[in-house]
Structure formats: C-alpha cells, structure tokens
C-alpha cells in the first residue's frame, strides 16, 4: 500500500509519521496522482506546529505542492488527464487535500501542466512561489519598469520568485537577508541590491539606494516589529504586502506615518488568485510562458528522498536554504 505522512499531535517535525493507506479512489472533480516530487513550504511547518491561519483537524496530512503522473480520474473528469505530467497549485484547504504521500488525491481544478523542459523536482517548485509573487506584484500592485520593490526574506523560494518577476518587469529589487552569507547568491539570482539586516542599517541603505524616495512596493513575509522599518522606507501612497508572519512576534502598527503618507498595508495570500478561475488563468500563463523561455528558473536548494521527510522539514526550519526544498519519491 502507498505511504502518506500524517501527524496526530501538533509540534515540531518529529510529529510527522509515515502511514500505509489503500490507494485512494478519486471522486467527482478529483484525480489520483502518482507522486514523483513534493515541494515543501513554510505554511506546512506552521500547520503541524499549530501556528497556521487555521488549525489542523487531527490526525492531519499536509502538503500543497506535488508533481507526478495522473493515474486515475473521477467520474466527471476528462480522461485525457490520465498519463499527464502535472503539478498541484495551492488552491485548496489542507483540511481537504494533502500532497505529502506516494499516491494522493488532488482537485482537477488545482492541476497545472509544467513545461517539458522542467524535471519533476522543478515542477513541484513553481506554483506556490511564482503565483504568490505574481498575485501581489503584478496582479495587485501592477509592478512596472523603474518601480522600486523591497523583498524581505529574499532567500525563500517566494522571495527568489519576486526577484525574478522584478527583473522580468524592469523593476529595481532590494532584497534582504539577515546575514551577509547569502548576499552573493542572491545577487547572482538577479537581485539589484541586497541588504543584510542584522549587519547593516536597513533604513539608511534603502534610502541611499532610492535617493531618499523609498520603495513603492514592499513584499514582506516577516511582519513583527520589522514593519515599523518597512513603513519608514515606503513611498507616499505606497503598498506593503504582508503575506506571512515569520517573525512570530506581535506586529505593531506605526499609525502616524501610515496615515500621513497614505500607505496601504495589505494582508495577502495566493488563494486570492488560485481559487478564482478568471485570476488563475492569466497567472498560470504568465508563469508558464516565463518558465518555458527561461526567464524563470526554479531554484532548488536541496533534495531529500521520501524516507527523509522529517529531515527535510527540519532543514526547512533551519533557514539555511536559498530556494526550494524538494522531496523526491521513487
């Protein structure tokens, strides 16, 4: 029987356990995927820690992104999907579907064929990062040539996707990382400027880079007290996207500068785009076209075999990576 990963209590990666289950039969609107690779995300770590935007129903599975081959479809699903190489787009609740397993069910509406020039590991490393960045930067902010955009926690897969999107649109990216050890790699990945926030004066550096103007767009997964510094470097009428809470701390609102500069501080997740077909269709095309012509190249930090899922999530939580962590399934 195929193995899946579940947890019966919240906690660290050690709560994740392998379980054997019967091959699942797809129902209406579903397919069964024989998994070849799984892309890991910070959201899943927060989920098994009990810190995600919703609590798990125990026992719970996890995982938003898998790549593999469709081997069965539900009664109402086009049979032409069978045999196709696809990856899953995060467009569902982890209460309903889990992608960390050898065979999984997925909603057909959440499937995306990835370009033939990508491996399965790369196919499992595209939709969360690129659609998250696309939705905020292109879909909402309308990033364009000459725009200034600050990208905190830029060594994450979403941060790297944001750097690539900024480059593709002719915008100027100001990436941040805590220490200088990742600066050279982020520069090589296309960041125009990189600031090590624990070693440099973040506000002074951004104002220096932008000739005192600040940035129009901030794309931040950190939150916490760092928001106050982000507000200091945002142009009047600029927008700050908060799409995560990596700091784990309370996020005070610096009300006076927000009011006086007419700033927008906007909560955001990619579900705004992945769950709305008329928004998802152009997002997929935007990403697909740039993957196909080489403007976007998924950055894989490290791969682990399926048997080492726990070690893979431990590595995710170490923050040592630059790019995506992928688990491969044989």
Give how far Cα 292 sits from Cα of 21, 32, 285, 297, 318, Å. Answer: 37, 26, 10, 9, 32
Structure-block tokens of residue 64: 């938003």
Tell me the sheet residues that pair with 172.
148
Q: For 249, list phi and psi in degrees, rounded to 5.
A: -110, 165
- The C-alpha atoms of residue 127 and residue 270 are separated, in whole angstroms, by 10
pTM > 0.85: yes or no:
yes
Domain 129-268 is of which CATH architecture? Answer: 3-Layer(aba) Sandwich (3.40)
In this structure, are residues 214 and 148 in contact, taking their beta carbons and an 8 Å threshold? Answer: yes
> Residue 139's closest CA among 308, 302, 282, 329?
282
Where are the extended beta strands (E) located within the chain?
Answer: 3-7, 17-20, 30-39, 60-61, 65-73, 85-88, 103-107, 111-113, 148-151, 172-177, 193-196, 215-220, 234-242, 264-267, 300-305, 324-328
Query: 3-126+298-328: what CATH class?
Result: alpha beta
Per-residue pLDDT of the chain (330 residues; tens, 9 = 90+): 999 999 999 999 999 999 999 999 999 999 999 999 999 999 999 999 999 989 999 999 999 999 999 999 999 999 999 999 999 999 999 999 999 999 999 999 999 988 888 999 999 999 999 999 999 999 999 999 999 999 999 999 999 999 999 999 999 999 999 999 999 999 999 999 999 999 999 999 999 999 999 999 999 999 999 999 999 999 999 999 999 888 889 999 999 999 999 999 999 999 999 999 999 999 999 999 999 888 999 999 999 999 999 999 999 999 888 889 999 998
Locate the domains of the chain by residue range: 3-126+298-328, 129-268
Cα dihedral 201, 206, 209, 210 in deg (nearest 10):
-150
- The C-alpha atoms of residue 37 and residue 120 are separated, in whole angstroms, by 6
In this structure, are residues 172 and 147 in contact, taking their beta carbons and an 8 Å threshold? Answer: yes
The count of C-alpha atoms lying within 13 angstroms of the C-alpha of 279, restricted to the half-sphere facing its C-beta, is 16
């Amino acid at each position: 029987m195929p193995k899946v990963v579940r947890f019966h209590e919240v906690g660290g990666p050690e709560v994740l356990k392998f379980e054997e289950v019967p091959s699942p039969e797809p129902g209406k609107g579903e397919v069964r995927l024989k998994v070849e690779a799984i892309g890991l995300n910070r959201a899943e770590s927060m989920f098994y820690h009990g810190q995600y935007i919703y609590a798990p129903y125990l026992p719970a599975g996890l995982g938003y992104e898998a790549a593999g081959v469709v081997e069965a479809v539900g009664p109402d699903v086009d049979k032409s999907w069978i045999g196709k190489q696809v990856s899953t787009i995060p467009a569902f609740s982890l209460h309903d579907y889990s992608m960390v397993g050898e065979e999984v069910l997925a909603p057909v509406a959440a499937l995306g064929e990835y370009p033939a020039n990508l491996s399965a590991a790369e196919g499992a490393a595209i939709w969360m990062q690129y659609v998250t960045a696309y939705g905020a930067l292109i879909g909402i902010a309308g990033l364009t040539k000459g725009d200034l955009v600050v990208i905190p926690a830029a060594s994450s897969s979403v941060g790297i996707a944001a750097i690539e999107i900024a480059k593709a649109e002719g915008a100027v990216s100001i990436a941040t990382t805590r220490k200088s050890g990742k600066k050279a790699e982020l520069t090589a990945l296309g960041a125009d400027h990189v600031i090590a926030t624990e070693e440099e004066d973040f506000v002074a550096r951004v104002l220096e880079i932008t000739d005192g103007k600040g940035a129009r767009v901030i794309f931040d997964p950190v939150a916490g007290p760092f928001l106050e510094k982000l507000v200091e470097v945002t142009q009047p009428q600029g927008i700050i996207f908060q799409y995560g809470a990596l700091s784990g701390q309370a996020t005070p609102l610096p009300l006076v500068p927000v009011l006086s500069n007419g700033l927008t501080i906007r909560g955001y997740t990619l579900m705004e785009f992945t769950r709305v077909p008329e928004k998802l269709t152009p997002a997929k095309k935007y990403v697909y076209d740039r993957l196909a012509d080489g403007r976007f190249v998924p950055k894989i930090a490290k791969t682990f075999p399926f048997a080492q899922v726990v070690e893979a999530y431990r590595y995710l939580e170490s923050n040592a990576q630059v790019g995506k962590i992928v688990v491969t399934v044989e």
